Amino acid sequence: MLSPAQLEPSKERSIHEVVGTVVTHRDAASGYRLLELDVPQEALDCRPGQFFHILCPVDGQSQPFLRRPMSIFGYDRDAGRLSFLYKVSGIGTAALSGLDEGDRLNVVGPLGNGFTIPQNARHLVLVARGVGLATLAPLAQEARRLGLGLKAICSARSPEHLMSIDHFRALGAEVIPVTDSEGTSDPEQLRSLLDGLAEADEMDMIYTCGSNRLLKLCQQVGRDAGIPGEIALEQQMACAIGMCQCCVRPFRRGGAVVQERVCREGPVFDIQEAMEW
């Protein structure tokens, strides 16, 4: 056994290993869970796009060894609250999903570089699908704080699968739902939707994450309209602090391909530099 995780808080140190307590934990949509923790304030100096590294509980069924990276879905420093929206996909997230109110959870963060919001931007647009919503949600919180407009294009299989729409609306974002079942989410439709926003001068910055399809689309729209963008990427991690170099991905930069650590140089990257995978 190690002694308890918390070190004395310090101003110079920005990454904290802390033990939080589960406040609420419930289903968000089928297969997705929303987890809210009470954590020490020192760990809540967060920016949208950053993530935490979660020590999933070891239960009778499985023993996830490595931590699991999870985007910050919401944070409230004053209230001491931190939340995650995640999809149950393998042994770590399955173990996580069994946590009950009052259970303790060891988390490390905040980690990585968050999204940037250009000085002169007035209208932000984000395009998200699935758990990508979790990563992009704090942008809505930040846009409201800065008094900027934000449109959230939320994509899902069907209207029942749309998640977090109320969350975005509550944060003052304009939600544009698109779904496969209604035939509104295919690349051509999205493309004309985004082009329309660009022409109407309602898109100064574009954000996305997760899929190759959305990356390609946002790259094209951004390039053609001269609008900057960012993408949050995922890669398997061990340390999440920049030490082990396992989480690299290739990026196009200055005519060459460079390898960068998703945990340290990312997880948010310039959308034009990102490469499909």
Ligand X SMILES: Cc1cc2nc3c(=O)[nH]c(=O)nc-3n(C[C@H](O)[C@H](O)[C@H](O)COP(=O)(O)OP(=O)(O)OC[C@H]3O[C@@H](n4cnc5c(N)ncnc54)[C@H](O)[C@@H]3O)c2cc1C
Ligand Y SMILES: Cc1cc2nc3c(=O)[nH]c(=O)nc-3n(C[C@H](O)[C@H](O)[C@H](O)COP(=O)(O)O)c2cc1C
Residues forming contacts to other proteins in the complex (CB under 8 A) are: 1-3, 5-7, 10, 13-17, 55, 63-67, 106, 108, 235-236, 238-239, 241-249, 259, 264
Decide: is 167 part of the binding site for ligand X (CB under 6 A). Answer: no
Nearest distance in Å: CB 49, ligand X: 9
- 89: closest CA among 114, 104, 110, 68? 68
Decide: is 246 part of the binding site for ligand FES (CB under 6 A). Answer: yes
∠ CA 121-189-152, nearest 5°, is 35
H helix or E strand, kind and range, residue 167: helix 165-170
Query: Coil, helix or strand for 76?
Result: strand
Q: Which does 106 bind (CB under 5 to 8 A by kind): other proteins, ligand FES, ligand X, none?
A: other proteins
Nearest distance in Å: CB 144, ligand X: 20
Nearest distance in Å: CB 242, ligand Y: 12
Neighbours of 87 (CB within 10 A): 16
Of 110 and 222, CB closest to other proteins: 110
Task: Select from 21-29, 86-94, 235-243, 269-277 the region that touches ligand FES (CB under 6 A).
Answer: 235-243
Decide: is 247 part of the binding site for ligand FES (CB under 6 A). Answer: yes
Q: Which does 69 bind (CB under 5 to 8 A by kind): ligand Y, ligand X, other proteins, none?
A: ligand X
Q: What is the DSSP letter of 113?
A: B
- 131: closest CA among 66, 82, 86? 86
Binding stretches for ligand Y (CB under 6 A): 238, 244
Strand runs labelled E in 30-138: 32-38, 51-55, 68-71, 74-76, 81-87, 104-111, 123-129
Nearest distance in Å: CB 2, other proteins: 5
Decide: is 235 part of the binding site for ligand X (CB under 6 A). Answer: yes
CA distance 211 to 233: 9
Q: Which of 242, 270, 272, 275 binds ligand FES (CB under 6 A)?
A: 242
Rg of the chain (C-alpha set): 19
Q: Which of 111, 194, 197, 240 binds ligand FES (CB under 6 A)?
A: 240
- 39: closest CA among 16, 20, 22? 20
Rounded to 10°, the helix 187-199/212-225 angle is 30
CA distance 145 to 139: 10
Decide: is 68 part of the binding site for ligand FES (CB under 6 A). Answer: no
Q: What is the DSSP letter of 188?
A: H
Site residues for ligand X, window 124-163 (CB under 6 A)?
131, 134-135
Task: Select from 19-27, 62-70, 139-147, 149-157 the region that touches ligand X (CB under 6 A).
Answer: 62-70
Residues that bind ligand FES (CB under 6 A): 237-240, 242-247, 261, 263-264
